[in-house]
Amino acid sequence: MKRLNIGIIGTGWCGGIRAETCAASPFVNELHIAEIREERLREVAQKTRPATATTDYRDLLAIPGIDAIMISATPETTHYPMAKESLEAGKHVFLEKPIALQLAEADELIELAHSKGLLFTIGYSQRFNPKFAYVKKSIADGAIGHPISALVSRHITRNLGHKIGGRIKLSPAAMEATHDIDFLLWCFEPRRPVRVYCQQVNKIMQGSHNVPDCAWIVVTLDDGSVLTIGAGWVLPPAYPNFSSTWIEMVGTEGAVMVDDTHRDVYVTTMKSGIEFPISTMPGEKLGHVYAGPMEAETIHFLECVVLGRQPLVTAEHARMVMRVYQAADRSAEEGRPVSIDWLGVPDVDRHSAPADLSTAR
């Protein structure tokens, strides 16, 4: 079996999870990491024993033997330039969402990946949540018939809201709802969004970070089906990073309801009151097991590089998600529904796999 040399740019919360997963994987021969915070770099290096540990990500791009790069850097303004440089260096790329800040940037990355025959995928970790996967299965096997409407309500604590809002001025639609836009469009494919209406609330985060508290989005698909996505980041603090999600998927022959509110495990103590462990979106290591989707997503990318397979998330799909949350932001700003015109736009899956995987390193 081929073993990979993997580079990870950014080893904070999510990048640290991916680094530890890669270090433990039999698919990985060498791990190389880059992190601008020297203290964090030393901490992750101690855990993962990488072949390279550097504060300059370009050091990794200069290593010919590295097969793939995973980009978990913040702020999100770094995504496009880092992904572009990695693809130009001939590396397969896994990029945390969002794919870019502008559609032109996303288009350039997509075309660059295909021109070089490289895998390029975006981190939508919730597809690897077993509960979400069950909803998709219920549609795929016909259990609930054809889906006609769906709702996802996602809320996270203001601890995370302050963290995200403090580093970049992107809305909850772009940073939180993006996971659920991706999930619902995946469930309803090949249908495409044609109209978006969004309302935002500005009562808590506006003064400190100039970002909305929450966004509620209604998306109409080209067959008349309707999606509703709510996302906010102003829940009161809870331990460690409380994320509460509710899903309703209604079809012609049935429905699936999913409680992913993480209220099934809680701890109450005299010192801290009620806490919710195992409540983060990415998940966390619990001794010998991992609770959450990010480890599985990381392993999936490694498998795809080793076997030359298209990852579950195509970059074209991520571009479609981007169009929806950009339309949501515009709708909220202008106070009206915004149409998405697909006339003359190629099918989102026209590049479902690299043109020639034999050229992929």
Tell whether 53 and 141 lie within a shared domain: no
**Which of 118, 144, 179 delimits the end of a domain?**
118
Whether residue 344 is predicted with pLDDT greater than 70 in this model: the reply is: no
Residues 132, 268, single domain; the answer is yes
303 lies in some domain:
yes
**Residue 350 placed within a domain:** no
Task: Report d(CA 197, CA 337) in Å as an integer.
Answer: 4
Looking at residue 241, what is its pLDDT?
84
Output the pLDDT for position 347: 56
**Residue 35: what pLDDT?**
98
Say which amino acid occupies 63.
I
Q: Are residues 151 and 33 in the same domain?
A: no
Do both 311 and 173 map to the same domain?
Answer: yes
Does residue 162 register a pLDDT over 90? Answer: no
Higher-confidence residue: 11 or 237? 11
Confidence check: pLDDT of 147 > 50: yes
Tokens of 352: 């479902």
Q: Which among 118, 149, 175 is the end of a domain? A: 118
Q: What are the tens digits of pLDDT across the range 203-214?
A: 999 888 889 999
- Do 280 and 137 lie in one domain? The reply is yes
158 and 46 belong to one structural domain: no
**Number of structural domains in the chain:** 2
pLDDT score, position 354: 40
- Residue 24 domain-assigned? yes
pLDDT above 60 (res 15): yes
* 164 and 68 housed in the same domain: no
CB atoms within 10 A of CB 62: 9
Q: What is the DSSP letter of 170?
A: -
What pLDDT is attached to residue 160?
A: 83
Asked if residue 355 has pLDDT above 60, the reply is: no
Share of the chain above pLDDT 70, in %: 95
Distance CA 9, CA 289 (A): 25
| Residue where the block lists tokens 């202008």 | 334
Q: In whole angstroms, how large is the CA radius of gyration of the chain?
A: 20
* Least confident residue range of 120-134, 238-252, 296-310, 333-347: 333-347
Q: Against a cut of 0.85, is the pTM above it?
A: yes
| Together in a domain, 101 and 168 | no
Task: Assess whether 146 and 278 both reside in one domain.
Answer: yes
Across the range 63-81, mean pLDDT stands at: 97
Residues 6+ apart with CB under 8 A from 315: 99, 106, 109, 110, 113, 120, 121, 122, 351
State yes or no: pLDDT of 199 exceeds 70: yes
Whether the pLDDT of residue 229 is over 90: the answer is: yes
Residue 149 lies in a domain: yes
Is residue 348 assigned to a domain? Answer: no
CATH at 23: 3.40.50.720
- pLDDT score, position 353: 41
Among 13-27, 177-191, 267-281, 324-338, which stretch is predicted with the lowest mean pLDDT?
267-281
Residues 6 or more apart whose Cβ sits within 8 Å of residue 207: none
Task: Assess if residue 345 is contained within a domain.
Answer: no
Q: Are 106 and 181 contained in the same domain? A: no
pLDDT number for residue 360: 38
Q: Which of 101, 118, 135 is the last residue of a domain?
A: 118
Q: Please indicate, yes or no, if residue 275 is contained in any of the structural domains.
A: yes
Q: What is the mean pLDDT of residues 6-21?
A: 98
Task: Judge whether 177 lies within some domain.
Answer: yes
Domain that holds residue 55: 4-118
How much is the mean pLDDT over the chain?
93
- Does the structure show a pLDDT above 70 at 326? yes
Helix H or strand E encompassing 209: helix 206-209
Pairing of β 193-201 and β 338-339: antiparallel
- CA end-to-end span of the chain, whole Å? 15
Task: Band the pLDDT of 361: cuts 50, 70, 90.
Answer: very low
